[in-house]
Chains A and B, each alone.
Chain A
């Protein structure tokens, strides 16, 4: 039966979903600030990778304890969504546990749901413990872990616990009410059964408690969904496309800029005809920077990376530069990219840049330049990178931190000639001697002098 309550629900749900779609369109716009890159190749390999790394959580299992805890929350999220679907139908049409008709399957699903909800609560409590009590270094330290990222993480965990508790409140009160009415309980609720009497046995009171639990749960979900675009928790959506579009080539293969190839070929061979430069709508040639100075110089995939990052810090914890006290933190590179993109482009519902900027101890001496380079990321960080790919290897959602670092470095070198002096000396050696050291090219074969091997007979 459809009543006023259902209409209110319908309106609230429509507003919640509409707001979410609006925020997603802003994020889409931001990501499309990036340079175009064709990543539509090899769909079957990409699907396999997505199944393994995103759906299968493959790379999470490099660290067992957080992997198992995260698996509870992940599976819980997916399975509980089936109940959310039922809640939506019940809410709109005024039905009660509309999926109950599937019988034993429904009982199994509801029982699994309850067990998972309990596991989610346990996992979230342990996550809070790791962040705030034992202070696992990768979660609690680092220049980029300022007020907002820490608050964001705690807020997500507390919200998830509260949402699960609301689900239990609804299940307990609803079950008791149905029992008191002498009706058959639809579904099986192993956890709620244990607490079935906590809300007393007044049917009206139980009805209200169940209603409050139900409304709190669904409103909480709608609100949380709209919090996602402002939060690191957005990874629950972006992990899937980001893994799908991740690099399929060997990690050691860096991008090659064809514009430079044409320039060199024209230099080496005067008869070489480079292709006509790209033109914009007015017919003016498009000038492309070499390397990246700001977010629009990065590709859309690199920008997507920054929306996928959940700030777990695995990359930073394995970075040889970071381990040995250098300023570089791959996580900071990714977080800075997102902050700068939202400063320059669109920003989600909650955006407080002052929460991101210098708070407390600050070793990163940024300038007031309104660009990603120097305004957020300093050359000192970029030059500390050994390009070892440990960050890329460690990322559970296939973010390519190294590609962004390299593009920023390229800008420093190609557009500003701003490399450290010893690096410039190395360039000069290669130009003059064909080797990074100052040895004459004519000595290159001297290693072969006076070389003996034992005779076979």
Chain B
């Protein structure tokens, strides 16, 4: 029903500044969220939630640049600091106070590593942000019963979990759905990496007996069992790796990989 939709004009920091306004929160999209076709859908789902709830947000648009995370994890401290110092200059120029991002790598880098270089912001991951919206009743997840009986397992991102001790927020978001939440054998602090961290996303794995994402996917499939299931992620790299794993196991018909923001947007009826 076309008439029930409205076109979203995503506000940028530049526009806000021109109007003498400041947003409540800056949404840091990240490179995967901006360029990766699959993860762009997560970015759009998250913006739909922000729009639906009426959060006063803005993005940097083309002024955003890589946080430098993959350079840093690959050992290129020089390139990392180049990126960080440039980004900090932009963020400080806009007087940014609060940042939300759907990427645990961006989250970790801005939150933990930018302060040493002069970038001090309140940084929250979208799992915590969504949890807050649900707790405040701003997102009601009325369509949650559509998930009734569906098995969902959450795959912990290393840079959200072990790196920053965020284990419960994404699980509480998923708990708002009327689904059957199941845990993999290795979860939370013992979660197994998807294989993409530490700049592995951008290179072939070293010689071994198996790919890490296959090992992890097998674990997820074992707990999801037969029939329809969802592997929930909260990280663009994990999403790529788990998707590839599911395809490798030829289970893409029955097992879907979704970001937690997509599941909430679906349950809110925002993605129709």
Contacts and interface: CB of A to CB of B under 8 A. Distances in A.
Interface in A400-454: 406, 409-414, 419-420, 422-423, 425-427, 430-431, 434-437, 439, 441-448, 450-454
Contacts of A422: 202-204
A447 to B, nearest CB: 4
B197 interface: yes
Contact of B209 (A324, A389, A426, A437): A324
A412 B75 contact: yes
Interface in B56-76: 59, 61-62, 64-66, 68, 70-76
Contacts of A447: 29, 33-34, 40, 43-44
Interface size classification for chain B: 35 or more
Given A414-B77, A422-B202, 9 more contacts: A268-B85, A320-B195, A384-B205, A386-B158, A419-B75, A425-B202, A434-B65, A448-B8, A453-B5
B40 A251 contact: no
Q: Which one of B76, B158, B162 has the highest number of Cβ atoms from chain A below 10 Å of its Cβ?
A: B76
Given A253-B113, A260-B81, A387 B65 contact: no
A435 B10 contact: no
A455 B4 CA distance: 5
Nearest to A408: B75
A250 B111 CA distance: 10
B199 interface: yes
A232 B177 CA distance: 50
B220 to A, nearest CB: 14
A129 B181 CA distance: 39
Given A327-B206, A386-B198, A389-B163, A444 B35 contact: yes
Interface of A: 62, 249-254, 256-257, 260-261, 263-265, 268, 290-291, 318, 320-321, 323-328, 380, 383-390, 392-393, 406, 409-414, 419-420, 422-423, 425-427, 430-431, 434-437, 439, 441-448, 450-455
A435 B206 contact: no
Given A264-B85, A321-B206, A414 B198 contact: no
B76 A324 contact: no
Contacts of A268: 85
Contact of B163 (A252, A436, A439): A252
Contacts of B162: 251-252, 388-390, 392-393
Contacts of A420: 203-204
A172 B230 CA distance: 65
Given A324-B212, A384-B205, A430-B71, A256 B198 contact: no
Contact of B47 (A263, A325, A451): A451
A454 B215 contact: no
Nearest to A319: B193
Given A260-B77, A261-B81, A386-B212, A448 B10 contact: yes
Interface in B75-106: 75-79, 81-83, 85
A441 B203 CA distance: 22
Contacts of A414: 75-78
A387 B76 contact: no
A412 B77 CA distance: 11
Interface of B: 3-8, 10, 12, 29, 31, 33-36, 40, 43-44, 47-48, 51-52, 59, 61-62, 64-66, 68, 70-79, 81-83, 85, 108, 111-113, 116-117, 158-159, 162-165, 189-193, 195-212, 214-216, 269-270, 272
Given A431-B79, A447-B43, A325 B208 contact: yes
A41 B48 CA distance: 44
Given A427-B71, A453-B48, A454-B5, A252 B199 contact: no
Nearest to B208: A325
Contacts of A324: 195, 205, 208-212, 214-215
A290 B190 contact: no
B215 to A, nearest CB: 6
A321 B73 CA distance: 16
Contacts of B214: 324
B104 to A, nearest CB: 8
Contacts of B43: 447
A260 B113 CA distance: 14
A393 B189 contact: yes
Nearest to B206: A384
B192 A390 contact: yes
Contacts of A320: 192-193, 195, 212, 215-216
Q: Which one of A321, A426, A430, A437 has the highest number of Cβ atoms from chain B below 10 Å of its Cβ?
A: A430
Contacts of A409: 74-75
A451 B79 contact: no
3 closest A-B pairs (Cβ-Cβ)? Answer: A252-B163, A325-B209, A387-B198
Nearest to B158: A388
Contacts of A62: 190
B74 A427 contact: yes
B206 A380 contact: yes
Contacts of A326: 205-208
Contacts of A380: 206-207
Given A324-B210, A387-B73, A439-B35, A256 B117 contact: yes
Given A436-B31, A453-B5, A413 B112 contact: no
B200 A386 contact: yes
A448 B74 CA distance: 30
A249 B112 contact: yes
B52 A260 contact: no
B187 to A, nearest CB: 12
Contact of B158 (A290, A328, A389): A389
B212 A254 contact: no
A454 B75 contact: no
B34 A383 contact: no
A385 B195 CA distance: 9
A256 B163 CA distance: 16
Given A409-B75, A410-B75, A426 B70 contact: yes
A86 to B, nearest CB: 43
A261 B34 CA distance: 28
A386 B68 contact: no
A356 B17 CA distance: 63
A261 B272 CA distance: 48
Contact of A430 (B8, B48, B83, B164): B83
A321 B208 contact: yes
A441 B76 contact: no
A414 B77 CA distance: 8
A17 to B, nearest CB: 41
Nearest to A413: B75
B31 A435 contact: yes
